[in-house]
Structure 1
Amino acid sequence: MSRAHRKQFIGMPLNADTQDLYHVRTAIQRALTGALPKLQGAFLDVGCGVMPYREMILKGSQVDRYIGMDLPVNDEAKYKTIRPDITWDGLGIPMPDASVDCAMATEVLEHCPDPLAVLKEIGRVMRPGGHLVLTVPFLWPLHDAPYDEHRYTPFALERLLRGAGFIDAEVRASGGWDASLGQMIGLWVMRRPMPPFIRTVLKWMSYPLVRWLFRRDRAPKGAELDWVMITAMSAMARKAQ
């Protein structure tokens, strides 16, 4: 992966052209960085895409085997230089029981018609005591139609993890009221259909406000998670012994 492509996922700068993606990408990077001390051994990246976090995880954790898994490749241009190590059908993982030490699924569960079954399947291939790290969107446009299935609340995500046999779940909101407004403004400016000239004018008008909102944001925690807006969530959980 080129350095420019990696910058779309890791170390993305905030500017007028990135105000739609900046918060979600930095939130995912922040969640994975926080998980690094708990990752080790064989690691499964569920829904790996072009594996933008592979180098970061191999260098920053005790992971010594990185396995990228995704649906069969159908975008030759996108996967020109990197392909998943194994493929799956979106439900069954072609690996033996207890064959990896830890796993992650970034921005995957919203695409799963049966998320509980997918989490149970991830748990099946994990060794007891291993950690799973997840990220899911909350305030995000419909995408990858018709395969955009769900948006989760923190409570639903924690319940799904418990139901799949995971314990010690820590579910965190990635952003609060201010980041939510900033993200919506950025998405509207950068993605609403409009003439290019109008978009250019609007993105430079909106950028100072979006930057201010992102910088002053505070994500809600615990008892604060009621009657609030959040942008997305991350979760860390451990497979029961």
Structure 2
Amino acid sequence: MNLQETFLNPRCTAENLDRFLVRSSILSALKETLPSFCGTLLDIGCGYMPYKQLVLTPPSRTEKYIGLDLKDNAYQKPDLEWDGITIPLADSSVDCVLATEVFEHCPEPKVVMSELIRVLKPGGILFFTVPFLWPLHDVPHDEYRYTPYALERHLRNAGFEQINFKALGGWDASLAQMIGLWVRRRPMPPRKRTILSMLLLPVVRLLAKLDMPPIEFSESLMITGISGTAIKPSL
């Protein structure tokens, strides 16, 4: 399976126990939002651009894709290079923004969200995901784990409206994800990892099947991550 397939066709295998749930839940949330995409789409923190072909395919009505990432990123050369602060695009120049697993890496979220609303056209949509239950990654550039309340505050302060959130996974998905992360990332001998991964594979599959992402965010809730949309006000 090539890199793009791990994002667009994630499978629950013994080797993919740590990434399956996060990849599949993000993909599902993104597919729900595709009909809202049109015109020019900016993919901020695009990395390997795994969703490029997806957002250029119906039911998305996107006509042009722009991948934006840091100049010295560890992935591939983007369409546009970014200093992490100022987006090199004119005001009101894109119709939609894609930001998957990006905001947790931004040391100044207020600045980034203000830049996103600047480059969006009036009525433009922002789609985003952030992790909640995930290990330290891209160290030392791992800054935050957001709750929906903090995200809403940042987005409203930047000027967004019609802000909506969804949990990417609930209690069962959270347990499955922790099992997957433990067996695939905890230091252990390779043979032990292989055996435990095979033994725990049906457990993870069962928990993923049983999971029902919560509709509302409430006290003592456990979630794997958050997806959401926000709109730049129309003129």
Aligned to 1:175: 169
**Gap regions ≥5 residues in structure 2:** none
Q: What is the correspondence of 1:98-177 to structure 2 with a 5 Å cutoff?
A: 98-177=92-171
Aligned to 1:67: 66
Aligned to 1:234: 227
Aligned to 1:209: 203
Q: Deviations over 1:71-119 (max 9, x none)?
A: 01454xx43xxx3111111111011110111111110000011112101
Aligned-residue Cα RMSD (Å) equals 1.1
Q: What is the correspondence of 1:40-119 to structure 2 with a 5 Å cutoff?
A: 40-60=38-58, 61-75=60-74, 78-79=75-76, 83-119=77-113
Task: Detail structure 1 runs of 4+ shifted over 6 Å in the superposition.
Answer: none
Distance in 2 (CA, whole Å) between partners of 1:166 and 1:214 is 33
Q: TM-score, normalised by structure 2?
A: 0.96
Aligned to 2:12: 14
Distance in 2 (CA, whole Å) between partners of 1:160 and 1:168 is 13
DSSP 3-state at the match of 1:7: helix
Distance in 2 (CA, whole Å) between partners of 1:6 and 1:189 is 24
Aligned to 1:187: 181
Count how many residue pairs are aligned between Structure 1 and Structure 2: 233
Q: 1:25 aligns with which of 19, 23, 26?
A: 23
Question: Are the counterparts in 1 of residues 47 and 73 from structure 2 also a CA contact under 8 Å?
Answer: no
Distance in 2 (CA, whole Å) between partners of 1:225 and 1:170 is 15
Q: TM-score, normalised by structure 1?
A: 0.94
Question: Are the counterparts in 1 of residues 42 and 97 from structure 2 also a CA contact under 8 Å?
Answer: yes
Distance in 2 (CA, whole Å) between partners of 1:161 and 1:234 is 13
TM-aligned CA deviation for residue 206 of structure 1: 1.0
DSSP 3-state at the match of 1:184: helix
Q: Deviations over 1:6-54 (max 9, x none)?
A: 1111111111111110010011111111111111001100001111100
**Gap regions ≥5 residues in structure 1:** none
Question: Are the counterparts in 2 of residues 99 and 125 from structure 1 also a CA contact under 8 Å?
Answer: yes
